[in-house]
Amino acid sequence: MTKLFRPSSALGNVRYEIRGKLANHALELERRGYEIIPLNIGNPGRFGFRTPETMRLAMIENLHSAEGYSHQKGIFPAREAVVMQQQARGVLGVTSEDVFIGNGVSELIDLTLRALLDPGDEVLVPGPDYPLWTASVTLNQGRAVHYPCRVERDYVPDPDEVAALLTPRTRAIIIINPNNPTGAVYPRETLEALARLAERHQLVVFSDEIYDRMTYDGAEFIPMATLVSDTLCASFSGLSKIYRACGYRVGWVSFSGAREQSQDYLQALDLLASLRLCSNVPGQWAVQTALGGFQSIDELVQPGGRLYESRRSIIDSVAASRYLELAPPAGSMYAFIGVRTGLLPGFDDQRFALDLLEQKHVLVAPGSSFNIPERNFFRVTSLPLADTLRDVFGRMEDLLESYAASS
């Protein structure tokens, strides 16, 4: 049969396996009656986390003001709340005009890159990365150049290795801190070196900080905007993770640094924001309450808190495994786990993920889907309860033992 409708060739190098074939197969298995434990995606609501009640009430009480379009940049109270947060962190000079509200950070990633890139422009992207960044660079006709974040450095990039990848076509650098998928929290000296690199070469700094308050055991989050002054810095965050409100689809990007020299770019972004009219208005009314209210995330990431204890169960389970290894995550809600190929030669992350799903009913994200060449990693979320995660790692160990027995 002749195929009439072919997909765009622009999608040829785009991957997002977090919601790809494995996830679709998991849905099929659930329809057949199997109970699948979904560790492939950071979706707090799937594991019983609730959005703080004050945020729900703020949205409900303002529904009468949410029936029409808002300004393309978002409602003023939400943008001003972001400004106040930035000022509290020491980022001065930012106004509500420098803030754009989007349908989650995901939409803003696409818009900010679309406003910047010409065909063939290069963007420095961490490897491993959150794959939406690479996909968005590709879809907007750019070239993603991955700078290595090596496990032997606890996934913290080496600024000298980053600098070696610069070319005359490099337009921007993406920094994900705290990091998804690895959980790394970058030290100040690394961030300062990357800031100076960006300033020397006039790169736009895209700083993905959606996990900003999700750190453990004294790890310190340093906002990139506090370090960048002589080039443009775009700081991304939102309600999805810290405030467990993924479904509200509310994110923001705040611009600081060399804004006066970047007016043409910011006007282009304003045009793109106008073309999509505005982002979800009801959810925007929760932003001011979220940023200004009690920060319930702090209890969750302290010893005894649910996220802390689930993370600890992953660390302990990997330590007890014969086959697994891990640079303990210092932030976010993920762990990027390695498999000792010396014990399991020929290990393949895609095959492992499929076998784990079909045989043990656990869904994970293969490491190669995060734009790295290695095939011996996988990512899990730390959102389930600690006991559930201990059970999951027992199932993993059984599968890995079967691999060893048959090799």
Q: What is the DSSP string of 232-290?
A: EEEEEEESTTTT--GGG--EEEEEEES-GGGHHHHHHHHHHHHHT----HHHHTTHHHH
- Ranges in the chain, pLDDT < 70: 1
Q: Phi and psi for 53 in degrees, rounded to 5?
A: -60, -35
Cα 172 to chain centroid distance, Å, stands at: 18
CB 84 within 8 A of CB 291: yes
Which pLDDT value is given to residue 10? 81
Cα 232 to chain centroid distance, Å, stands at: 21
Q: Phi and psi for 399 in degrees, rounded to 5?
A: -65, -45
Could you report how far apart the first and last alpha carbons of the chain are, in Å? 42
Q: Would you put residue 155 in left (φ > 0), alpha (ψ -120 to 50) or beta?
A: left
Q: How many helices (H) and strands (E) does the chain have?
A: 14, 13
CA quadruple 109, 75, 243, 330: dihedral positive or negative? Answer: positive
Q: What is the pLDDT of residues 350-368, one digit of tens each?
A: 999 999 999 999 999 999 9
Q: Which CATH number fits domain 9-50+299-406: 3.30.750.200, 3.40.1410.10, 3.40.109.10, 3.90.1150.10?
A: 3.90.1150.10
Cα 379 to chain centroid distance, Å, stands at: 12
Which pLDDT value is given to residue 1? 60
Please, what's the b/e burial string for 72-82 (b: 16 or more CB within 10 A of its CB; e: otherwise)? bbbbebbbbbb
Return the structure tokens found at 134: 């690479």
CATH architecture of 53-292: 3-Layer(aba) Sandwich (3.40)
Long-range contacts of 54-62 (CB under 8 A, 24+ apart): 54/289, 54/293, 54/294, 55/239, 55/243, 55/245, 55/286, 55/289, 55/290, 55/293, 56/286, 57/289, 58/285, 58/286, 58/288, 58/289, 59/248, 59/282, 59/283, 59/285, 59/286, 61/285, 62/282, 62/285
Residues of the chain with CATH 3.40.640.10: 53-292
The pTM of the full predicted model, rounded to 2 decimals, is: 0.94
- Map tokens 């303990």 to a residue: 328
Tell me 152's DSSP state. G
Which pLDDT value is given to residue 239? 97
- The angle subtended at Cα 381 by Cα 376 and Cα 387, nearest 5°, is 110
Residues of the chain with CATH 3.90.1150.10: 9-50+299-406
Rounded Cα distance between 149 and 128, Å, is 7
Cα dihedral 165→167→170→176 (10° resolution): 10
